[in-house]
Amino acid sequence: MTSLASSSTVLTPTWAPIRGARRLWDRLLGPLALVATLLGLVVLVVLLIDVFRDGWPRLSWQFLTSFPSRKPEEAGILSALVGSLWLISLTALFAFPLGVGAAIYLEEYAPRSRFTEFIEVNIANLAGVPSIIYGLLGLEVFVRFLFPITNGRTILSGALTMTLLVLPMIIIATREALRAVPDSLRQAGLAMGATRWQVVRDLILPQALPGALTGTILALSRAIGETAPLITIGALTYIAYLPPFSLEGLRTPFTVLPIQIFNWVSRPQAGFHQAAAAGIIVLLVVLLSMNAGAIYLRNRFQRRTV
């Protein structure tokens, strides 16, 4: 260091030495960034500890298998848990093919035109629309207008509303995954006399699928925590039965975990607050399982396609 400065004629004295404020900032930035990182983490950990301290003792088989009740010690999460799983499975069923289909159209088929640009801008904007707006839309379209099909404030209406909510996110994630597939692969496929569909099905989609799946599951994990749009379309808080496992079951009223938790938190009895904390743990477990599923699927498909 010193020998460099003294022996080299290249390092002329007109250059500022590496000390003073320049060195100070370098030394400070690391610790400051660490504090910023830890701050977020610490808040999260404190929150988790608090929730687990309240909720862990309440968590039991009885809690998981009981319906809500007026007595806090008998209350359970069953109908909300089942409602959430129903809702998210149906949403995935509707949203994944629609989202991937739209993304394929926009990336692989759509001509560069004003119309395409208009659609693209709108999808990007829709991803930023507050979820309660989707609730209002769902209330008007699915609950009221499509009443003969959905039977009003039902699982089906909820899932369709959630589909609208996650669709823009799935489209954007899938488009990015499709765009990451090199163009040389499309050219190679087409030059073999393949149709566009054969190229998309056999060459492009397998490459883009991990990205599309990850995007879908992340969008769904956001949806499973959503409360506002479901309250708007009128999901109930007291459901003391499970929907029959049939098409008719889709047309029954429902509740979901966040709504049940919100309901318990707003009650005066301490027993319900513990139930709410236990409900949060259940919701977290569902969420983390979905994210783990996303990682598993991504890894599996990546291995298979290379």
Partner 1 sequence: MTSFPRISLRTESPSSALATETAPAIQVRHLQVWYGTKQALKDVTLDVPRGQITAFIGPSGCGKSTLLRSFNRMNDLIPGARVEGEVLIEGQNIYAADVDPVAVRRHVGMVFQKPNPFPKSIYENVAWGARINGYKGKMDDLVEAALRDAALWDEVKDKLNESGLSLSGGQQQRLCIARAIAIKPEIILMDEPCSALDPIATLKIEDLMRDLRERYTIVIVTHNMQQAARVSDYTAFFTVTPDRVGYLEEFGKTHQIFTNPRSKITEDYITGRFG
Which residues of this chain interact with partner 1, rule CB under 8 A?
111-112, 182, 184-195, 198, 202-203, 206-207, 305-306
Please state the closest distance from residue 88 (CB atom) to partner 1, in A.
Answer: 32
Instruction: Kindly state the helix (H) or strand (E) to which residue 240 belongs, with its residue range.
Output: none
Q: What is the CA radius of gyration of the chain?
A: 26
Toward partner 1, which CB reaches closer, 5 or 185? 185
Please state the closest distance from residue 182 (CB atom) to partner 1, in A.
Answer: 8
- Identify the three-state secondary structure at position 9: coil
- Identify the three-state secondary structure at position 306: coil
Toward partner 1, which CB reaches closer, 90 or 209? 209
Toward partner 1, which CB reaches closer, 117 or 248? 117
The CB density around residue 71, as the number of other CB atoms within 10 Å, is 9
The CB density around residue 29, as the number of other CB atoms within 10 Å, is 10
| 8 Å CB contact between 94 and 166 | no
Toward partner 1, which CB reaches closer, 9 or 113? 113
Please state the closest distance from residue 25 (CB atom) to partner 1, in A.
Answer: 44
- From residue 7, alpha-carbon distances to 16, 17, 49, 144, 149 in Å are 17, 15, 59, 84, 86
Toward partner 1, which CB reaches closer, 21 or 191? 191
- Closest to 50 measured CA to CA, from 273, 287, 286: 273
Please state the closest distance from residue 173 (CB atom) to partner 1, in A.
Answer: 20
Instruction: Give 51's contacts (C-beta < 8 A, 6+ positions apart).
Output: 277, 280, 281
Toward partner 1, which CB reaches closer, 188 or 288? 188
- DSSP one-letter code for 17: P
Please state the closest distance from residue 111 (CB atom) to partner 1, in A.
Answer: 8
Please state the closest distance from residue 105 (CB atom) to partner 1, in A.
Answer: 16
Q: Vertex 200, ends 195 and 202: CA angle to 5°?
A: 95
